[in-house]
Amino acid sequence: MVLAAEAAINDYYSGVLFAQGEETQKMGETMEHYFGGFWSVGIFDDPYGYSWTIIRRSPALIMFDVNGKGIAFAKEAAVVG
């Protein structure tokens, strides 16, 4: 999982603010391709800013510090109804 996330960052992350929506979408699609399910990817100004979000409760969560930005990958939990 770590290697796939690192590869997605290397392939898509540019650091350009206005490109982040497209970049996070592509990074999420990469994780979905390899691991299935639905993945959320968030880019935070504070590398540990994700800790205040709901994604920290994900069954699979990984966070990277990239040039002072936090990039968090989180697998969406299945909802059983």
Cβ burial of 47 (10 Å; 0-12, 13-18, 19+) is middle
Tell me if 45 is assigned to some domain.
yes
Q: How far apart are CA 63 and CA 77, in angstroms?
A: 17
Separation CA 81–CA 64 (nearest Å): 33
Tell whether 80 is covered by a domain: no
Residues 16 and 29: their CA atoms lie apart, in Å, by: 19
Inside any domain, residue 81: no
Q: What is the pLDDT of residues 62-76, one digit of tens each?
A: 999 999 999 999 998
Residue 25 lies in a domain: yes
| Domain enclosing residue 29, as ranges | 2-75
Indicate the number of domains in the chain. Answer: 1
Residue 56: predicted pLDDT: 65
CATH number, domain containing residue 9 = 3.30.740.10
Residue 31 lies in a domain: yes
Task: Quote the pLDDT of residue 49.
Answer: 74
pLDDT in tens, the chain (81 residues): 999 999 999 999 999 999 999 999 999 999 999 999 999 999 999 877 777 776 667 778 899 999 999 999 999 876 655
